[in-house]
Structure 1
């Protein structure tokens, strides 16, 4: 069973809400998932509320072989930067 960290779309028309999930690679985009790691709200104006992601769990899943998609990988990197900036402050 190959796992991927990918985005699952939810929300209304023109108001997308994405869940960052760990799911089977061959499954549907909005299908069943193993674990929900966070949410991404692309239309949110406040950058702090735009991305909520459990970075520790994402790193765990990557350590056991889950491959992030390009978009989810960029979101994970962004969440790491935000987490590091919050730790400094």
Structure 2
């Protein structure tokens, strides 16, 4: 099963995240199938490829709760 979730990047206490598509059985920071955007919680900066996420959802990928929140926030913003 495919999941759309966050991949942690950055230094200690200064994290940023990439939004990725990955098999649910893989590690959090494992090799991603596709990168769909990023999220920086320090600056609240978010960039998401909305069309790509919608395509992956139609193919059966599931969003984690945080990614679902960020995705809905981005949809309502546009």
- Which structure's CA Rg is the greater one? 1
TM-score (norm 2): 0.96
Measured in 1, the distance between the counterparts of 2:42 and 2:8 equals 13
Structure 1 residue runs without a partner (length 5+): 84-89
Deviation of the 1:14 alpha carbon: 1.0
- Residues paired across the two proteins, number: 78
1:63 to 49, 58, 62: 58
Mark the runs of 5 or more structure 2 residues left unpaired by the alignment: none
Matches within 5 A, 1:1-89: 2-44=1-43, 47=44, 50-83=45-78
Separation in structure 1 between the aligned mates of residue 25 and residue 14 of structure 2, nearest angstrom? 26
Runs of 4+ in 1 over 4 A off after TM superposition: none
Considering fraction of residues, name the structure with more helix.
1
Post-superposition Cα deviations, 1:20-56, rounded to whole Å, max 9, x if no partner, equal: 0000011000001110000000000xx5xx1000011
Q: CA RMSD in A?
A: 0.8
Select the structure that is richer in strand: 2
Q: TM-score normalized by structure 1?
A: 0.84
SS at match of 2:56: helix
